[in-house]
Structure 1
């Protein structure tokens, strides 16, 4: 049975923290990052910290307390979660909250489980329920969890991608790899430096990636802003969408390999279900330019991308049953 007192659904990602309260329909999203000085004092958090990229003095550093969905800094992660919970509660100054249902990776270890529990407890959550992210994402995408039929969830995050085969409200098989949207950003930074003579910051790479994704066709161009390597002056390059898309596709092989490696070791009947129903592509980077087409071509599976694919975990978390 679900505990009706669980007031928040939480997805603590390496790039974005998402929170949904039972009283609201809108998902609160905030970057999981803070700007700290040498003494560990927080000067900015979330979007305010991201705005310092390329502008911050040497005395400040940008810190992400969650890396590849593993907690690296429990103190900072708890602080960011507490601030976000207060905002999701309408700006309350409360130090405690009724409880939360928290999305976790399917194959999370004991140490990381404890680290995540510590973060939630230090943020003020009194009761905590952990649910597998793939089950929450399936429920948030409209998959009936009680059906004894195979469902394949491919969750592409900023730094990690997982592929999970589900049936009857349980994770039957799962694989993951350290690849995601930030790998595309890194590739775009390298491309602009070596082919176009332009130094760009991670924020500009992220912007170019989103412009590329929204492009209707690959024959257009995307303006990319940065610093000319030779003159040291601000400059802009009009880069073909096809060229940017080629960089993005270089990361897609690892994602499709996950699916192709998962299916041979899965029960045949569930694999038949997947080939009939297709896979659900979700996560923060699900809309990467050409990714659905790549998966469709490489695996032979229909590919379905839900609306707001990054939010399906928090939207479906409460529908996941408790173990036993």
Structure 2
């Protein structure tokens, strides 16, 4: 039967959705949908929909159907997932594909059930795997052994710190904050310091182009157009790298606190392994410049950026489909 059924690993994230089959990335698009309000009809998705944020009339609503890693708009998520699976697997499948969907660690049974049911609308069999475990598989950490491995996933909607051993999560914590929280911190900083209101897409561009975890010797700058919060008129403002560093200090401290709480609850034997191997950083937030140096200093443990930070979770989910027996204790039951 496996010869006729495709197997897809899907990382359904707050900001991006990645679909992998085997070792091939089939899709990597923003988890954004534009719908006609009165008809509830999807008109755009992915990058095209993301580019519409803040630029459309009231007749079209641009939404992120997932918030903090879980489904916030069930019907929209179901339609989007069905559409994406059909787009990647093809409409003329004899059997619907087998899906491995990732979910944040510690989600409730209701949130799990919502993801599972949305998956069943697109796939024949649906399995759920915690995101830290999938990411660890995707970056080839030796989690099948009794030695300790630590991963820090910095996603758009969640921060997840986890210690893994024997194909399972030993200790973990999920903070419902992430890359979008960083964007909000930049928006707040610009409003307080310069009296200018900017949108989330502009804040994201500032984070990508200028963002760093520690002050930079080589200063870069970027001019953005905002709205004066007093007059309401357009007004340009020039921001430097260190402006963004200052803006991100509070969200970064939340990352450190989350990781420390997990380390405090980890058995000493596993801590020794983690000190030797370091903390693996993945997720889009791990691309922030010099965040590895920042976390190494803050935690006292070496932190390093993995080779495939934005796709490792989906790649691990795809590999997990062939490891279902070994992972039977770890896969989430609905």
Instruction: Give the TM-score normalised by structure 1.
Output: 0.90
Q: Is the 8 A contact 2:226 2:237 kept in 1?
A: no
Q: 1:27, 1:218 → 2: CA distance? A: 39
The equivalent residue for 1:220 is 219
Q: Is the 8 A contact 2:212 2:245 kept in 1?
A: no
- Cα separation, partners in 2 of 1:13 and 1:84, compared to 1, 3 Å: same
Q: Is the 8 A contact 1:218 1:241 kept in 2?
A: no
Q: 1:284, 1:43 → 2: CA distance? A: 27
Q: Which moved more, 1:259-268 or 1:113-122?
A: 259-268
Report matched runs for 1:1-324 at 5 Å: 5=5, 7-22=7-22, 25-39=24-38, 40-89=40-89, 92=91, 97-122=96-121, 124-213=122-211, 217-229=216-228, 234-320=234-320, 321-322=323-324, 323=328
Q: 1:221, 1:313 → 2: CA distance? A: 32
Structure 1 stretches of at least 4 aligned residues deviating more than 4 Å after TM superposition:
3-6, 93-96, 230-235
Deviation at 1:235, TM superposition (A): 4.7
SS of residue in 2 equivalent to 1:155: strand
- Cα separation, partners in 2 of 1:88 and 1:218, compared to 1, 3 Å: farther
Deviation at 1:36, TM superposition (A): 2.5
SS of residue in 1 equivalent to 2:9: strand
Q: 2:318, 2:48 → 1: CA distance? A: 31
Deviation at 1:274, TM superposition (A): 0.7
The equivalent residue for 2:332 is none
Q: 1:318, 1:28 → 2: CA distance? A: 13
- Cα separation, partners in 2 of 1:263 and 1:72, compared to 1, 3 Å: same
- Cα separation, partners in 2 of 1:227 and 1:213, compared to 1, 3 Å: closer
- Cα separation, partners in 2 of 1:246 and 1:304, compared to 1, 3 Å: same
SS of residue in 2 equivalent to 1:28: strand
SS of residue in 2 equivalent to 1:285: helix
Deviation at 1:190, TM superposition (A): 1.8
SS of residue in 1 equivalent to 2:286: coil
* Structure 1 residues without counterparts, runs of 5 or longer: none
Q: 2:83, 2:95 → 1: CA distance? A: 11
Instruction: Give the TM-score normalised by structure 2.
Output: 0.88
Deviation at 1:127, TM superposition (A): 1.0
* Structure 2 residues without counterparts, runs of 5 or longer: 330-334
Aligned alpha-carbon RMSD (Å): 2.4
- Cα separation, partners in 2 of 1:297 and 1:45, compared to 1, 3 Å: same
Deviation at 1:94, TM superposition (A): 5.7
Q: 2:6, 2:143 → 1: CA distance? A: 20
Q: 2:281, 2:223 → 1: CA distance? A: 28
Q: Which moved more, 1:52-61 or 1:174-183?
A: 52-61
Q: Is the 8 A contact 1:9 1:21 kept in 2?
A: yes
